[in-house]
Structure 1
C-alpha cells in the first residue's frame, strides 16, 4: 500500500441534511430566500436572535423549532401562527437538541483551567447528579440529547464504509499493544475505511490516533507514539493525558478523520482527542448498539475485558439472526486471549456453526493480520 497517498473519508460529502431540516444559519437563510416560507421545516439548535424579521414574516405553519434562541416577539408570533416551539433549556452543560456530533475541541474547551471545568466533565457531573434522583425531566433531556446525537451520526456516516475497532481502555500508551492498535487504525484509514471506536482511552485512542496519522508519512506516528508515552494513562491526571494528545495534534495539524462513540455512563473514562467527530451518549446501551450497528464493513476485536466481551456477543447476535442483512465480518485478535484467558472464541464458533455468519468470523494471532483477515471476510 502506498503510504504517501492514503485514501481518506470525507465526512462533508457524507453529510446529507434532509430537505426539511435546518441545522445552521446558512441553511435557514437559504430556505427563507429560496422558498419564502418555513412551513413544515424542523429547525434544530440554531440561534435565531438575529433573524427576527424573517420569523415575523415567513409562514411557520407546521414548523418545529428545537432549542432555537429567538426574540420573545418572534417566538410568540411563530407559535401563534402554527409552529411548535421547544425553547432552549437554561442551565444545562450540554445542548439537548444539538444538530451535530461533538468535536474534541468542544468537549475539552477550557482544559487549560483544569479538566473539571470542561463541558465533558460538567456534563458527567450533571449526569451523576440527576441519574439517581428519578426526575422525569432530566431523563427526558438525556433521551432527547441521545436521539439528536444518533440523528447527527447517521447523517455524518451516510455512505461511509465503517470498521469498528473494539478493545479495552486499560491499554497503556508506550506499549507494543498500543502501537499495534495505532498502526491498525492507520492501515484501515489508508484503505479508505472510516475507523469507529468507543471513543475512550487505551485501544480506542490508539485506533483513532492511527486514523489521524494516516495522511502523514510513517515516521509521524512513531514520533507521536514517543511523545504520548510520556503520559501513559489518563490516571492520575485526565488533563495531562488530554493535553499531550492536543500537543500531538498541534505538531501535526490536519490529520485524518475518524469517529469516537463514548458514553458519560463511563464518564471516568474521558473521550480521546484523536477522533475528529465524537458522538457521546448518556445511555450506554444506545451507544453500544449504535457503534456496532454502524460498523457496516466489519469489526476488529482487540484484547479486552468485560466490555469488549459484551461487544463481541452484541455484534454476534444480529449476525446470527441476520437481522441487518448479510452478517458483517468479525475479526478477533490474539488467539491466547480469546481461547484461554477469556474463551469467547469457542462459544462464538459454536454459535456460528452451520450459519452464514460462520464464513464471516476469523481469529488471528497478531494485530498485523487483522486487515488481511477483514478483507478475506469481505470487509
Structure 2
C-alpha cells in the first residue's frame, strides 16, 4: 500500500535543495560553504540561532515567518536577505512549511470542545475578514494557501494519487458509508494514495478506509460500530470529532491518506482520518488543486451540487487534454447519476469520440469501482 513520506522531509527537487523547514536542516545548511545564501527558510523558530545567523552568509536568502532576535534580523537584512516576520495574533501560520495533522486542527476538542480548536478559530477569523476588503487579510490568506499548495506538491511528488469525491451528507452507520470505507481501503491496499475533499460523509469514509488499510480486516467492523453512535457532524461537531479520535486511539498505527478541505464551507469540518490535511481559505484554489493532483483517476460517489461541480471540473481538462492524457473517471450508482442527477449522459455526450471516452465508466455499486478504475488505467 502507498506510504507517504515523513511530514517534515529534506527539500527535494521542487525546492532545488534550497528550502529549509526544520532546525536540523538549518543547522546542516549553516555548516556548509555558502551557508544560507539563496535559501528559503520557512516557519522555523530561529530565536536560539542568533550566533549562527550573525556568522552566516545570507545573501539573497528569504526568511518566511521565522522568529529571531532583533540583532540577527538586522544582520540578515544587511546581507540582503528578505525577512517576512511572523504575524501576531493569528490562529494559523500563513508561512507554514508542512500540511496540517488532524491532531493539530482539532487540538483541544476533547477538553474544551470544537469551538476552541485551531480549526474553528481559523474559520472564525476567516468569517470576520473575508468580506471587509482588507488587503492585508486577503494577502495572509493567499500566502497561507500558497504554502499549503507547496507542501502538497512536495508530499505528493511522484505518488499515484486517486481521488474519492462524494457528499458530506453520507451518514456513519449506513451501508453507503461502509461501502465508501471499503473503497478507500481497497485503493490504499492497491498501492494508491487516497485523496478526498477532507470533510465528513463520503470523504471521511474514504479516508477512514485508507487509515484501516494496514490493519486486520476485523478493524473495519470495529471502527464502523464505534462511529455509528454519532452519525453526523450535525448538530455537534465536538461529539462527531471525539468519536473519530476514539477510533484512532482504539486502532492506532493506521495508514496514510490526504484530505484537502476548505474553510469556505465553515459548516463542514475536516475529518480526523486523513493523515495529512491541506486546508485552504480559497475554495476555487482547493477544488482545482485537488483534482489536478489526482493523477491516477477519480471515483465519484453519489453527491449533490459540489460533487456535480467536481465531475465537470475534472472533465474539462480531460476534454481539452490540458493536463496530458485523460485521467480515469468512475461514477458510482447508475440511478443517481442517470436519473436523480443525470450527470452521466452529459459526461458521455461530452466525451464523444475524444480520448477521454475511453477513460470514463459508470458502475452500479461501490464495490465495482476499484476494478473499473484498474480497467480504465490499463486502457
* TM bucket normalised to smaller: over 0.9
**Does 1:140 pair with 2:139?**
yes
Distance 2:161 2:135 in 1: 35
Distance 2:143 2:124 in 1: 18
TM, length-normalised to structure 1 = 0.97
Q: Which residue of 1 aligns with 2:66?
A: 68
SS in 1 for 2:59: coil
Extract unaligned runs of 5+ from structure 2. Answer: none
**Does 1:375 pair with 2:344?**
no
Distance 2:51 2:330 in 1: 57
Deviations 1:186-214 (CA, angstroms, capped at 9, x unpaired): 00000000000000000000000000000
Matches within 5 A, 1:35-74: 35=33, 37-74=35-72
Distance 1:15 1:181 in 2: 31
1:11 alignment partner, one of 1, 5, 28: 5
Matches within 5 A, 1:267-346: 267-346=266-345
Shift of 1:36: 5.2
Q: Which residue of 2 aligns with 1:106?
A: 104
Q: Which residue of 2 aligns with 1:209?
A: 208
Do 1:359 and 1:377's aligned partners in 2 also have CA atoms closer than 8 Å? Answer: yes
Shift of 1:375: 0.2
Extract unaligned runs of 5+ from structure 1. Answer: 1-6
Shift of 1:15: 5.3
Distance 1:133 1:10 in 2: 39
Do 2:99 and 2:151's aligned partners in 1 also have CA atoms closer than 8 Å? Answer: yes
Q: Which residue of 2 aligns with 1:355?
A: 354
Distance 1:322 1:298 in 2: 14
**Does 1:32 pair with 2:26?**
no
Deviations 1:319-345 (CA, angstroms, capped at 9, x unpaired): 000001000000000000000000000
Shift of 1:35: 2.8
Shift of 1:8: 3.2
Do 1:96 and 1:144's aligned partners in 2 also have CA atoms closer than 8 Å? Answer: yes
Deviations 1:77-113 (CA, angstroms, capped at 9, x unpaired): 1111211100000000000000001000000111121
Shift of 1:10: 3.1
Deviations 1:245-296 (CA, angstroms, capped at 9, x unpaired): 0000001111000000000001210000000000000000000000000000
Distance 2:94 2:45 in 1: 14
Distance 1:356 1:326 in 2: 8
Do 2:7 and 2:99's aligned partners in 1 also have CA atoms closer than 8 Å? Answer: no
Provide the aligned C-alpha RMSD in A: 1.1
Distance 2:25 2:10 in 1: 13
Distance 1:28 1:116, change over 3 A: same
Shift of 1:13: 9.9
Distance 1:13 1:210 in 2: 21
Q: Which residue of 2 aligns with 1:218?
A: 217
Distance 2:121 2:7 in 1: 33
SS in 1 for 2:194: strand
SS in 2 for 1:211: helix
Do 1:41 and 1:63's aligned partners in 2 also have CA atoms closer than 8 Å? Answer: yes
Between the two proteins, the alignment pairs up a number of residues equal to: 373
Deviations 1:150-200 (CA, angstroms, capped at 9, x unpaired): 000000101110000000000000000000000000000000000000000
2:80 alignment partner, one of 82, 93, 99: 82
Distance 1:204 1:35 in 2: 47
TM, length-normalised to structure 2 = 0.97
Distance 1:42 1:270 in 2: 32
Shift of 1:48: 0.2
Do 1:63 and 1:83's aligned partners in 2 also have CA atoms closer than 8 Å? Answer: yes
Matches within 5 A, 1:61-210: 61-111=59-109, 112-210=111-209
Q: Which residue of 1 aligns with 2:261?
A: 262
Distance 1:326 1:216 in 2: 35
Q: Runs of 4+ in structure 1 displaced over 6 angstroms?
A: none
